[in-house]
């Protein structure tokens, strides 16, 4: 399984670093927390991203084990 790594054009030296708005787990783009608290939004986004990446890693590990058992 391959992750899609794309350059984020918003992360350039001439622009400040901004985190995307935290969204619901169902990816509906519904804000989870008010955006007037950007620190909390960033933390929430990072936590959700970490969970998603852990799930993807786990699924890739399972697929690798299944492939090696064939």
Q: What is the pLDDT of residues 4-56, one digit of tens each?
A: 545 554 444 454 445 455 555 555 555 555 566 778 888 888 999 999 999 99
Q: Which residues of 37-70 are buried (b: 16+ CB within 10 A; e: fewer)?
A: eeeebbebbeebeeeeeeeeeeeeeeeeeeeeee
- pTM for this entry: 0.45
Q: CA 26 → CA 23, 58, 70, distances in Å?
A: 8, 19, 34
Q: CA 69 → CA 12, 16, 23, 64, distances in Å?
A: 45, 48, 38, 9
Number of Cβ within a 10 Å radius of residue 22? 23
């Amino acid at each position: 399984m391959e992750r899609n790594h794309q350059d984020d054009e918003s992360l350039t030296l001439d622009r400040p670093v901004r985190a995307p708005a935290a969204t619901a787990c169902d990816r509906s783009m519904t804000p989870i927390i008010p955006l007037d608290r950007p620190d909390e939004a960033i933390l929430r986004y990072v936590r959700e991203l970490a969970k998603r990446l852990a799930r993807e890693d786990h699924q890739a590990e399972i697929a690798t084990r299944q492939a090696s058992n064939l």
